[in-house]
Structure 1
Amino acid sequence: MTSAPTTEPGLTTSPPQTPGEAPGRVAPRPRRVVPLWGWLVAVVVIWWVASRIGDGRAVLYLPGQETTDFQDRFTDLKADLIAGRDTNVLMQVVGAVSDAFNGVVEQLQGLVSTPDLPRPVPQIGWLGVLGIAGWVSLAIAGWRHALGTMASLAAVGLLGYWVDGMDTLIITFFSVAVSLALGLPLAVWMGTSRRVNAVVTPVLDVLQTFPAFVYLAPMALFFSLGPAIAVAVTVLYALPPVVRISAHALRSVSETTIEATTSLGQTGWQRLIKVQLPMARPSIIVGVNQTMMAALSISVIAGFVNGPGLGKPVLRALTAGSNQVGVAFIAGASIVFIAIMLDRVTTAASERSELVARGGGGNRRTHRIVLAVAGAAALVSVYVSRTYFSFAEFPDTEVGPKVAEAVQSATDWTTSHFSGLTTGVQETVTTVFINPLQDLVAGSPWFVTGLALIVLSQLLAGWRGALSSLACLTGIYVTDLWYDAMVTLTSVLVATLFVMVVAVVLGVWMARRRLVDRLLRPLLDAAQVMPSFVYLIPVLALFGPGRFTAIVAAFIYAVPVATKLVADGVRQVSETTVEAATAAGSTPWQLITKVQLPMARGNLVLAANQGLLFVLAMVVIGGLVGGGALGYDSVLGFSRGEFFGKGVSAGIAIVLLGIMVDRVARGAAERDRSAPGLLARLRTRTPAHHLS
């Protein structure tokens, strides 16, 4: 038995020695590890030096009016498909589907929006539409949302876009119906089979990475312009949300519940119908909501391919220039009214289904009586709208023209009085941020930029991220649009930088102040449901056409989703951790920078990921207002048939850019899920009860 060492007064003990270490030798200092930001800075510095040496050589620039053999293959393929439409089996099948889509849309238009000849008006006039829409909203969401639905549709009519608004709803609802018919069975299959889920999930990831604009080019190979291609593109774009969310909801049903139903002798079909689907119903309705909003956003973009609806007047106003801002505004406002209406009704339907499933929802007998009375009123409104002309065709009003004139006057006044300020902001951002970054990314030799991006991907996301970047950059090189892709990437990076700065400031403010959250969150929700086209209207009026306009519109479009993600991440930091840091003497600034933001790092990376994808989608649409690069190539491919192949190649390059930034951001999030070291240090400085 040994006794503990003692220390004589005035003597000090030597530090403990490691096994095998010679007595009296000082232990070696631990090696310094270079932090991640140090490596990132080093790569950027080397990249900049190499770009100065390269001095604009080997940038692979291709003028807008030139094409390559790779791009011409797509143009020739389109010509061959059109020429062989009568003999090609695939084109015959697609033609039959196209005819069916056109037939359904025309029938629905004759029902509610356009004259159903020989009737000079639709079968159901505006009053009947309001009655039916109000009754449906009452049944699934409640009386407040029924009133909101009727008010929103009436506002669209008062602005002068009743017919276009109804056409937008027709394309949206028909596309959602097709998406649900295809997506829900696939979601059930994914939710009940791990193998199917493993196969389909990567496909959904890729589809959701595509900007909406990109879907137009490949579908134009098979469908002719008009309602059919609008429906086909909308279905393809809107399908992934309902499949992914519904499959996740089915997989999330408790294993204990599944085992209990199995022990009771239920078959797999009975378990699905009586247990899994009812328990997953609220989430499925959320999936329907997301699918509906996606369908609405791209049904507007379908105006490019002659799809009916509100996309046409918005597109006409945007291409007409700044003197049409007022017209574009009221068309955009009509889209916003419809978007908010659909979002609120479907969200309320999800909440109501959950309440009813738990035995709430009020008196059911009273609810049925109210529905019966409202249904009778809706039938009367349908009859009146079929009988009287004034209730069939929405009357002309002066509301829309007056609003457009007021908005145009305000725009003209703003541009004339603040042109110096807007020009100064535009020149400063362009000189300080856009031009230097574009010189680095797009102005460097292509192999220098490619190698730098791959190394940065490895540092941020590991070897998987580097391999993904290598594959995507190789594909971009093959499209012969390297320079344009790098210019687009520059705009994406600049816009995302500003998005994250604003998102962090607003997100932290919202997380730390409940009043600020209550005031800002409804605004962010409303901004998030607006189709991307709407954001181009005010920005174009302020700054005129150009790449800066595309960047600002992308910034406005992406800020809401990034801000909400940051706010939610900061709010999720446990109160005990915040209390511990406060007890340790942290100031509010230290609390934000040393505790809350580091512990919300996963949400910050996710916000950057979503911000990048939103920005990329909007920067491409910015090609309409002089954004240039891949956006210009895409628009050129639609507007002129001889450049169709270049437009398709631009779409491929856009998708590859999206996949690359998505994979790098996701890889960075997966590598950085551990809690920051400050929490461990706090444990040594604060009483145990603060961290229990």
Structure 2
Amino acid sequence: MTAQVSGTSADGRFASVLRRPGTGVLVTAILGGWLLAWYLLRGTHTLQLGAAQLTDLHRSLNEVNHSIATSRDTNPVFVYFFDVIRVTVDEIAAFFQALLAQPAFGSPTPLLGWLGVVAVAGFLAYAVGNLRVALLAVGGLVFLGLQGLWQESMDTLALTMAAVLIALLFTIPLGVYAGLSDRFHRLITPVLDFMQTMPTFVYLAPLTLFFLIGPASATIATMIYAAPPTIRLTAHGIRSVPEQMLEASRSLGATRWQSLTKVLLPTAKRTIVLGINQTMMAALAMVTIAALINAPGLGRTVINALQTRDVGTAFNGGLAIVVLAIVIDRVTTAAGTRQEQDAPAGTARGPLARRGVLLATGVLALVGVWYSRTYLWAAEFPGTAHVGRWVTVVTATATEWVKDNFAVLTTGVKNTVTAVAIDPLQALLTESPWWLVTAVVLALAVVIGSIRAAIVAAVCLSLIILTGLWHDAMITLASVLIATALVVALAVVVGVWMGRSPRVDHVIRPVLDAGQTMPPFVYLVPFLALFEATRFTAIIAAVLYASPVAIKIVTDGIRAVSPTTVEAATATGASTWQTITKVQIPMARHALTLAANQGLIYVLSMVVVGGLVGAGALGYDVVAGFVQASLYGKGLAAGVAIVLLGIMLDRITQAAAKRAGGAH
């Protein structure tokens, strides 16, 4: 009898050995096999292309670019379609520039001088928000003038407003339709996913092919990049309206149009305004990057300063972008959150007082516009730029001081991370045979994601090979993976801390909100000062750019863990560390994989922008394509390779998040 029990126990142990190994074991085995194969095969079949070398595809794209340039004035498609769009967009952008920045219709000053812009902005901010928002708007705009960047700021604001206005003409109707139609919602969701996965750089090259370099291409690129948030949130707002409200309106005899205009849209108003807010922030970020295709504004100031390593001027321009972003964000956010009455319900004093202040600020706005149309001092911001000079000098001085006193620390950190992480991973990816890297990626996609994700990865990798930029793509992939790993580590540490402590959340969340309002360029400036133009600079800037969204996702995931489960673990004697590592993090693994997915997409976008400060690879190829006509085809192919990398990484991490959610 004892022997029988013993045999049964042995059979059970043998069966457990034959079970499918865990995901961690399989990933370790794949990576170990890769390292061994790399050691034996490194340097073979790497598909490396010299910096000045072009493939047949690149030359063909150059020829297409040249052919379009020479036949643009006679080709009917351009004369009657693309040129019509370009001229129309140019006129809209020119109107806003004439209104805010450029001399209008032969006038020596804009239609609204600086005093008029400040007065109207204060009035609108109070109308949609409150006195605090109005003071913030007025103070922020005046600060831009004191920086000596009024003209550049108004150019940026004009292009942002033009792009958002054009975008809203079709994004809100599309969002409404997506909210009403399940079929259209399913159809447009993958398109929006693709648009938001695509890094900002990628929009620029193909648009210049059809709309030339200048404000029109910049506005159209900004419009396309900024469109998805409004479509998504409008559809979400309409779909979130309770069915009972619709049934009540129908029972009263309301038509579909009446139900839409009297029930759905008013109820979803706050969500729609939030979408407009996100669209404006995305537009501002894109307008600054569009300086690469000759868009006027603050982006050009920052790019020129980065290229000359003038950290003081770059920081002053970056600070102006942040101030403008904060003003736009607070005003548009206030439009969606302000209550109809400032006083308690049931009293008339609050609404009457508000109407009085609104009337007074309206009168002041008209007076400010009249002054700006009458007196030169109110039309053109005074030539003083004391704040800007002070910011530039202090930044340059502080930079030099840090370099002199902390050079050993900054250089040591940069060299250590580069030697320990960046160089080994880059060597592993670039020196491995292309077919080996492909096999490893597909195997990992199946193990941590799904077979469908592996199929998408196979297609993307095949197309990257066809672009002729496999080697550069692997360099970019190495930077993306390292930055994403750092983002996830930071998100876990800070996210768990915030998720467990409401007080910490209250302190850190405003910092994260502020970080999400800053356009990508701004992150490059301080790290360029500290670490010079290197891959490490681009990676660290990408980590800070991508961290806020990942930290918020992890925080929400930790907070979603049942308090009862946490209390049960504590009651059994688990320490704080055991509760975190054995209960909260495992139960929030879906949030962790989702944070990795979102962080990765942000990192990819930022690492490419880092091509301006030494990241090289695909980002540099794209920028070089704007500068040199002979490299246009290579730059366009690099943009395609970036998109393919983004799609591949997005699909694998999304599949991993779904698997984690299913396991949970």
Q: What range describes the TM-score normalised by the shorter chain of this pair?
A: over 0.9
> In 2, are the aligned partners of 1:140 and 1:352 still within 8 Å (CA)?
yes
AA aligned opposite 2:622:
S
Distance (Å, rounded) in 2 between the aligned partners of 1:577 and 1:89 = 68
Q: Of 194, 198, 220, which residue of structure 1 is paired with 2:186?
A: 198
Kindly indicate whether residue 369 of structure 2 is the aligned counterpart of residue 382 of structure 1: yes
Aligned residue in 2 for 1:551: 539
- Spell out, residue by residue over 1:147-201, the C-alpha distance to the aligned partner (whole angstroms, 9 max, x if none): 1011111111100100110111111111111111011111111111111111111
Aligned residue in 1 for 2:58: 71
254-263 vs 66-75, which deviates more?
A: 254-263
Kindly indicate whether residue 276 of structure 2 is the aligned counterpart of residue 329 of structure 1: no
AA aligned opposite 1:473:
L
Aligned residue in 2 for 1:349: 335
Kindly indicate whether residue 516 of structure 2 is the aligned counterpart of residue 494 of structure 1: no
Distance (Å, rounded) in 1 between the aligned partners of 2:26 and 2:373 = 72
Kindly indicate whether residue 37 of structure 2 is the aligned counterpart of residue 55 of structure 1: no
- Spell out, residue by residue over 1:533-580, the C-alpha distance to the aligned partner (whole angstroms, 9 max, x if none): 011111111111121111111112111221121112112222222111
Distance (Å, rounded) in 2 between the aligned partners of 1:221 and 1:263 = 54
> In 2, are the aligned partners of 1:183 and 1:242 still within 8 Å (CA)?
yes
SS of the residue corresponding to residue 338 of structure 2 reads helix
Aligned residue in 1 for 2:116: 128
Distance (Å, rounded) in 2 between the aligned partners of 1:529 and 1:655 = 24
Q: Report the alpha carbon displacement of residue 87 of structure 1 after superposing the two structures with TM.
A: 3.0
AA aligned opposite 1:31:
S
Q: Report the alpha carbon displacement of residue 355 of structure 1 after superposing the two structures with TM.
A: 8.0
Q: Report the alpha carbon displacement of residue 360 of structure 1 after superposing the two structures with TM.
A: 9.2
Aligned residue in 1 for 2:571: 583
Distance (Å, rounded) in 1 between the aligned partners of 2:513 and 2:347 = 25
Distance (Å, rounded) in 1 between the aligned partners of 2:610 and 2:392 = 23
SS of the residue corresponding to residue 260 of structure 2 reads helix
Aligned residue in 2 for 1:89: 76
TM alignment of 1:400-549, pairs within 5 A: 400-549=388-537
Kindly indicate whether residue 351 of structure 2 is the aligned counterpart of residue 364 of structure 1: yes
- Spell out, residue by residue over 1:520-541, the C-alpha distance to the aligned partner (whole angstroms, 9 max, x if none): 1111111111000011111111
Q: Report the alpha carbon displacement of residue 369 of structure 1 after superposing the two structures with TM.
A: 2.4
Distance (Å, rounded) in 1 between the aligned partners of 2:364 and 2:5 = 98
Q: Relative to 1, partners in 2 of residues 1:88 and 1:624: Cα closer, same or farther, differing over 3 Å?
A: same
> In 2, are the aligned partners of 1:314 and 1:331 still within 8 Å (CA)?
yes
Kindly indicate whether residue 266 of structure 2 is the aligned counterpart of residue 281 of structure 1: no
Aligned residue in 2 for 1:42: 29
Distance (Å, rounded) in 2 between the aligned partners of 1:233 and 1:404 = 31
Q: Relative to 1, partners in 2 of residues 1:452 and 1:147: Cα closer, same or farther, differing over 3 Å?
A: same
Distance (Å, rounded) in 1 between the aligned partners of 2:106 and 2:336 = 41
Q: Of 308, 312, 317, which residue of structure 1 is paired with 2:300?
A: 312
Q: Report the alpha carbon displacement of residue 134 of structure 1 after superposing the two structures with TM.
A: 0.6
Distance (Å, rounded) in 1 between the aligned partners of 2:35 and 2:336 = 52
Q: Relative to 1, partners in 2 of residues 1:353 and 1:644: Cα closer, same or farther, differing over 3 Å?
A: farther
Q: Of 15, 21, 26, which residue of structure 1 is paired with 2:8?
A: 26
TM-score, normalised by the number of residues in structure 2: 0.95
Distance (Å, rounded) in 1 between the aligned partners of 2:340 and 2:32 = 55
Q: Report the alpha carbon displacement of residue 253 of structure 1 after superposing the two structures with TM.
A: 1.8
- Spell out, residue by residue over 1:273-296, the C-alpha distance to the aligned partner (whole angstroms, 9 max, x if none): 111111111111111111010000
AA aligned opposite 2:457:
S
Q: Report the alpha carbon displacement of residue 353 of structure 1 after superposing the two structures with TM.
A: 5.8
Aligned alpha-carbon RMSD (Å) = 2.0
Aligned residue in 1 for 2:609: 621
Q: Relative to 1, partners in 2 of residues 1:361 and 1:507: Cα closer, same or farther, differing over 3 Å?
A: farther
Larger radius of gyration between Structure 1 and Structure 2:
1
> In 1, are the aligned partners of 2:97 and 2:159 still within 8 Å (CA)?
no
445-454 vs 392-401, which deviates more?
A: 392-401
Q: Report the alpha carbon displacement of residue 119 of structure 1 after superposing the two structures with TM.
A: 3.0
Kindly indicate whether residue 101 of structure 2 is the aligned counterpart of residue 113 of structure 1: yes
412-421 vs 104-113, which deviates more?
A: 104-113
- Spell out, residue by residue over 1:476-506, the C-alpha distance to the aligned partner (whole angstroms, 9 max, x if none): 1111111111110000001111111111111
Distance (Å, rounded) in 2 between the aligned partners of 1:353 and 1:287 = 18
Distance (Å, rounded) in 1 between the aligned partners of 2:5 and 2:442 = 48
Distance (Å, rounded) in 2 between the aligned partners of 1:297 and 1:184 = 21
Q: Report the alpha carbon displacement of residue 359 of structure 1 after superposing the two structures with TM.
A: 7.5
Distance (Å, rounded) in 2 between the aligned partners of 1:672 and 1:70 = 40
- Spell out, residue by residue over 1:97-124, the C-alpha distance to the aligned partner (whole angstroms, 9 max, x if none): 1112222222322222123364322222
SS of the residue corresponding to residue 211 of structure 2 reads coil
SS of the residue corresponding to residue 198 of structure 1 reads helix
Aligned residue in 1 for 2:360: 373
Structure 2 unaligned regions, length at least 5: none
AA aligned opposite 1:326:
G
> In 2, are the aligned partners of 1:510 and 1:517 still within 8 Å (CA)?
yes
Q: Of 137, 140, 145, which residue of structure 2 is paired with 1:157?
A: 145
Distance (Å, rounded) in 1 between the aligned partners of 2:96 and 2:168 = 19
AA aligned opposite 1:87:
T
- Spell out, residue by residue over 1:403-429, the C-alpha distance to the aligned partner (whole angstroms, 9 max, x if none): 201110110111121111111111111
258-267 vs 480-489, which deviates more?
A: 258-267
Kindly indicate whether residue 62 of structure 2 is the aligned counterpart of residue 80 of structure 1: no
> In 1, are the aligned partners of 2:483 and 2:539 still within 8 Å (CA)?
yes
277-286 vs 290-299, which deviates more?
A: 277-286
AA aligned opposite 2:156:
T
> In 2, are the aligned partners of 1:599 and 1:675 still within 8 Å (CA)?
no
Kindly indicate whether residue 615 of structure 2 is the aligned counterpart of residue 633 of structure 1: no
> In 1, are the aligned partners of 2:115 and 2:369 still within 8 Å (CA)?
yes
AA aligned opposite 1:429:
V
- Spell out, residue by residue over 1:337-381, the C-alpha distance to the aligned partner (whole angstroms, 9 max, x if none): 01111112222221126889x979983333222211110111011
> In 1, are the aligned partners of 2:96 and 2:162 still within 8 Å (CA)?
no
Distance (Å, rounded) in 2 between the aligned partners of 1:354 and 1:117 = 40
Q: Relative to 1, partners in 2 of residues 1:127 and 1:289: Cα closer, same or farther, differing over 3 Å?
A: same
AA aligned opposite 1:500:
V
517-526 vs 346-355, which deviates more?
A: 346-355
Q: Relative to 1, partners in 2 of residues 1:231 and 1:42: Cα closer, same or farther, differing over 3 Å?
A: same
Structure 1 unaligned regions, length at least 5: 1-12, 16-21, 677-692
Distance (Å, rounded) in 1 between the aligned partners of 2:72 and 2:225 = 25
AA aligned opposite 1:238:
A
Kindly indicate whether residue 127 of structure 2 is the aligned counterpart of residue 139 of structure 1: yes
Q: Relative to 1, partners in 2 of residues 1:598 and 1:384: Cα closer, same or farther, differing over 3 Å?
A: same
Distance (Å, rounded) in 2 between the aligned partners of 1:296 and 1:31 = 57
SS of the residue corresponding to residue 302 of structure 1 reads helix
- Spell out, residue by residue over 1:37-65, the C-alpha distance to the aligned partner (whole angstroms, 9 max, x if none): 10000000111111112121111011121
Distance (Å, rounded) in 1 between the aligned partners of 2:559 and 2:347 = 30
Q: Report the alpha carbon displacement of residue 23 of structure 1 after superposing the two structures with TM.
A: 9.5
Distance (Å, rounded) in 1 between the aligned partners of 2:608 and 2:179 = 34
